[in-house]
Every structure is written in C-alpha cells, then in structure tokens.
Amino acid sequence: MLLLFNYTNLSSYNKLTLSSFPVHYELNKREYFFENERVVLFLISNANVKHDISLLFKKESVKIDFLKPFLQGDYFGVFIEKHIEQITVIRDESGINSGYYYHDPINKNLIIASVMHDITNFVPCELSKETIFQFLYSDYLWDGQTFYNQVKEFKVGEECIFDKNLHLIDKKEFKIQFSSVENTLTEEENIKTLRKKIADAHKKYLNDQNIVLLSGGIDSVAMLIALDDLLDKKRIKAYSYKVKNAINADETVYAKSIANHLNINIEIFERELKEQIEPEDFQKLVLKMNNPYMGVHIFNNNFENNEFVTYYAGQDTRLHTPSVNKLDLFAFNLINKPKIIIKTLNWFVSLIRPLFKPFFNSKNRNLRGLLRLTYVFDIQKYVQKYYFKIDKAYLESYHLPTEFYNKFKTKYYIDLNKIYNQRGLYNTIVELKWKEQYVSDIKYIQDMARMSDSYIAMPFYDMNLAKYKATIPFKLTTKAMFGKSGFGENKKVVFKYLLRMSLKDKIDKKTLYRSKAAPATFYILFNEKFTNVLKKIFVVDLNSEESFIKNYHLNDFVDKFLTKSSAWEEKDQGYLLKIYNTAAIICYYRNSKYK
C-alpha cells in the first residue's frame, strides 16, 4: 500500500480526487479497495473479511466504529469520509499489520505506506542513529520506530485522524495490558478452554485451502490440530522446511509424524543457497522488508497469490507456555517477599558477583548459571539481563559502541511496585516483549506475505486468546512433565504441559513428548553464500567517501567477519544475525543517501 496525499505529477498511480487534495495510490494484489458514494477504505488484512466488507459498503452510511468489528482484529486501514474529507488511519491491537507515514503539515503533504522504505522515494530521509543502535543492540525495533528520522510508524492499536488540511487533529492510543488476576478454572477446565480458544482464533482465517507452516514444534502442531477440529482434512495442508547440511536440525521428521498421524497432506522443502547472491539483489530484497530477516531466504518461495489460500505461522506470545527455568521461578517467587530481606540478600551477593562476571560468555552452562544466580535478588536487573538481553558486557564483547546503551536500557524498566505475583510479572514482560520482539517477528512474516501477495495468519497473536491465556494460573502454565530431547530419544523434563494436554487426543506420541528444539541453521547459509555477498557490501561501504561503518564506528565490530577464513559454527549465530542486520542497514543508508 502506498498513498500520497496532495502530491502532483504522479501519472503512473491510481488517483482519487477530493476537493481539498488529490490522493494517488498503489495497491498490491493482496490489498483491498472499497468505495461507495460517501466513504473509501484502503485495507490490508489476512482475515477472511472481503465478503462482509463488500456487503457493508453497499450501504450508504459506513462509520469507522461500526466498521472495526467486521475487520476481526487483523487490519491496517485508511478510511476516508468524502463529504468532510477526513482521513482516519487504524491499526489492529495485535500489530499484525503495519503502516508508516511521513507528515508535513506546513506544506500539507501526507504519505502512508505499508513499507517504510517506499517513503524514501518521495522524501529525503536520514537514518536515526539512536534507532540504528537500538536495532544493533537488541535485533529489534520497538513499536512506533523506523530506521529513519522523517518516517514514523502508526503504533499498535492506534487511531489517527487527519482533517481536510492534512493536519493531525486526533490520536487515540492503545496500550497492551493484561490482568494479573488468575482465573479460578480447574486444570481440566483450563485444558479444555485453551483448546477451544485456540480453535476460535483460527476461525476468522478459514479459507478454501489452509496451509500450516509446520515445524514439528508444539505451537505449529497446535495450529494443525485446531484446523483439523474445524475443517475437512481435504482443506488442510502442511509445509515443512529443512536446511541442507544442518546437523541435528531436521524438524521435518516431527512434522511428517504429526501430519501422517492426522492423515493430512504434507510437503517437505529442503533449502540451500545454490546461486551466488549479488549485492544489488540483496539490497532489492531488504528494501522490501520492514524487518530484515534471514529466514526469508529459506521460506519465501512457496507462497502463492490466491485469495482462496491462507497460510498459518505459529509465532507465539508464550503467555500459556512461559519460557522459565527453575532459577527464573525462584526469582519470580521473590516478587511478593519482604523487600528489606531481598535488598539485604542482593547487597550480599552483589559483593561476590565480580568473581563470577568473567563467566558471562562461558561455554559452560553451569558457570553461566552461577553468574545468573547472583542476580536473582534484583528482579529488575534479572529480567532485563536474561529476558531482554540488556547486557553491556555482551555488547562490548562484539565491539559495538555503547553510547546509546543507557537510554536503550530505560525502555525496559518495569515498575515492580505495581506487580504482586508471578503471573503479573510475566504478563508485564510479555507486554514489553509485544512492543519489541513480537511486533518484529510479526513484521518479517507479513513482509513475506506482502512480497508474495499472499495471506499469512498468525492466530496466536489474537488479542482475545492472549487475554484469556494471561489469566491461566502461572503454576499451571509452568508445570513440567517427562519427555524426550529435541532431536533424540534421551529422557528429559519438558515444559508446555498445559498445551500438550490440550492436544493429547489428537497428537502423536513422538511430538507430544518432544522437548522444544529450535534448529540453528542460519550459520549454514553464511557458509554457503551469505559471507561473500555481505563482505562485498562491507568492502564497498568502507571504500566509500561516506562510509556507514566508519561513521557509526563499527570497524572493530565487522573486523571479525571480514577477516575470518574458517567456517562459521552454531555458536556464531548471535553475531551473524547482527552482521546480517548491519548489511541491511548499509543498504538503507545507501538508498537514502544516494538517490
């Protein structure tokens, strides 16, 4: 979606003429345009809403508040009331769809786009240094952030109104907030309710053909079973992916197991970078994405533009399956203990903490655990360090400049005075994660949907489902059971008990008892073709008069990448992700600098 308000000489675009200003626009095949005599709607949605909205627009009068429920919580829309020439921009509360804008109220110009980089084709833009370092520190942009000073993002759940003079006259903000009050349902009642709520979250996406991106992990399996609860098997299919030469990373074994168990058709795709990627091709690709992501090189060639096909991705909020270990649970349990005792204990362990700080990057898990133990009595630091990776020593180990570190750190502050139990603390973490990691994860999935003109549903981000999951007793969500290791047969304790039990009647044993085991595969792509193309991008930049790497003092950071001649290993993935992101930012820098 690209909308240009009050611009001229744009003959190649579609045009909507209002008395106060023209609207030039461009939509791709997956985006909608609805119009009647009184109103216009430009819409992006993965939900099955086209038919109902078309019927609604046959009525003469359509109001934004009446329209919203029909959008089913998955939308980015620009609503124009012709008679008063008022523009209302809306974004869903889950952040499934994104929209960006440039606003010049003095010259009465407004640009709205679904890809932030498209705006740079019409407006001179410069990178935001603070945002760039936020991205390099954490690998994420926050809700509302873009890479450019001149471009903003409409925030999650936000509603903005512009008048006929293209002045912003009203802004309604939305805050993701979950109750800390746990529900009073029994374990069995929560198991049944979770199963039903997950199925309900899929209903708005049901299509003639429904294709699950099936990893074999329990979350994607839950989607497959939800669809199996709702549809004839002929309307369900699964895609599963593996990367050639990956060791202990073939999840397709589990995907095939559950698909065969449910008698659902499955296709397996094996990926490798067969051809050399050129810097020009890399730049074209990342300029199509709001969140540059290596996974696009694995997943993006199998989606088709067909309004009767919906794909399903299993990214999750973890509200019903908290990622916690025994030490986390111990730390969380201190939230309601006498503060004077906790402060005293924290003072004591802080004295011995320097002895353990050299272990922060140790290969030995137990040694890292000893350092982690010294933070349990300071829950603020514990959460920041181990849930949000706010760690100055970690960044310095990569030779990243830390001039923005203290300001960056403030974004992750949690008001512990307002939290009274473990559930409340974890829900607060999720509220922050949603504005950081979750919207970023959503973006790369929706980037792939947009690039292929397809529809990708993300049902676990349904806000009604999330609000229920936030009330499940924390003790139940962290309950464990015996299972098996991620890619083997060794017995081990596994989590996500509640979700596993909710699927027990349909899930196969191989998947039911499998431990979480996300495969590490990106380093393999670097050993194939990525290293060569990214080195070219870095060398060209370093040899240019206005080098991004030099201007941002990243020479030491990229030096390891440029000088390493041996193969990359799994342990290098964190560094390689930042290298990939740096290459993408260089493309944004050059694109905005040299137009």
Query: How many angstroms separate the CA atoms of 189 and 180, rounded?
Result: 19
> For residues 150 and 37, what is the distance between their CA atoms, to the nearest angstrom?
34
Spatial contact of 5 and 109, defined as CB atoms under 8 Å apart: yes
**How does strand 265-271 pair with strand 236-243?**
parallel
b/e for 341-365, b at 16 or more Cβ within 10 A? ebeeebeeeeeeeeebeebeeeeee
Do 396 and 402 contact (CB within 8 A), yes or no? Answer: yes
* Among 140, 126, 145, CA closest to 590: 126
Q: How many CA atoms lie within 13 A of 410 on its CB side?
A: 3
> Phi and psi at residue 493, in whole multiples of 5°?
-75, 130
What is the SS3 assignment for 241? Answer: strand
Number of helices (H), then strands (E), in the chain: 25, 19
- 8 Å CB contact between 315 and 442: yes
**pLDDT of res. 485:** 59
CA–CA separation, 265 vs 250, rounded Å?
19
The rounded distance, in Å, linking the Cα atoms of 550 and 25 is 38
Asked whether this chain's domains 2-172 and 187-316+448-512 adopt the same fold, the reply is no
Task: Write phi, then psi, for 19 (nearest 5 degrees).
Answer: -65, -30
Write down the pLDDT at residue 162.
Answer: 98
User: Residue 298's pLDDT is what?
Assistant: 80
Residue whose tokens read 């079973």:
225
Query: How far does CA 124 lie from the centroid of its chain?
Result: 28
489-495: long-range pairs with CB below 8 Å, 24+? 495/321
| Beta-strand runs (E) in 163-208 | 168-172
CA dist 299 and 296 (Å) reads 5
- Residues 91 and 99 sit within 8 Å (Cβ to Cβ): yes
Specify the CATH number of the domain 2-172: 3.60.20.10
pLDDT at 24: 97
Please tell me the predicted confidence (pLDDT) of residue 528. 82
Domain 187-316+448-512 sits in CATH at: 3.40.50.620
Cβ(142)–Cβ(411) below 8 Å? yes
One-letter identity of residue 433: K
Specify whether the CB–CB gap between 46 and 73 falls below 8 A: no
Find the angle CA(306)-CA(310)-CA(315) to the nearest 5 degrees: 140
All residues at 6 or more sequence positions from 342 whose CB lies less than 8 Å from its CB, including other chains: 334, 377
**Domains of the chain: which residue ranges?**
2-172, 187-316+448-512, 326-431, 522-593
Calpha distance 404→317 (Å, rounded): 28
Q: What is the 3-state secondary structure (H, E, C) of 150-217?
A: CCEECCCCCEEEECCCCCEEEEECCCCCCCCCCCCCCHHHHHHHHHHHHHHHHHCCCCCEEEEECCCC
Question: Position 495: which residue type?
Answer: F
Helix (H) or strand (E) holding 491: strand 491-494
At 454, list the tokens.
């397809």
Inter-CA distances, 250 with 38, 79, 269, Å: 55, 46, 11
pLDDT in the model for residue 257: 92
- What is this structure's pTM? 0.94
Q: What is the pLDDT of residue 486?
A: 52
Low-confidence stretches of the chain (pLDDT < 70) are: 247-249, 273-275, 300, 484-490, 516-519, 594-595
| Inter-residue contact 92 to 284 (CB < 8 Å) | no
Predicted pLDDT of residue 516: 65
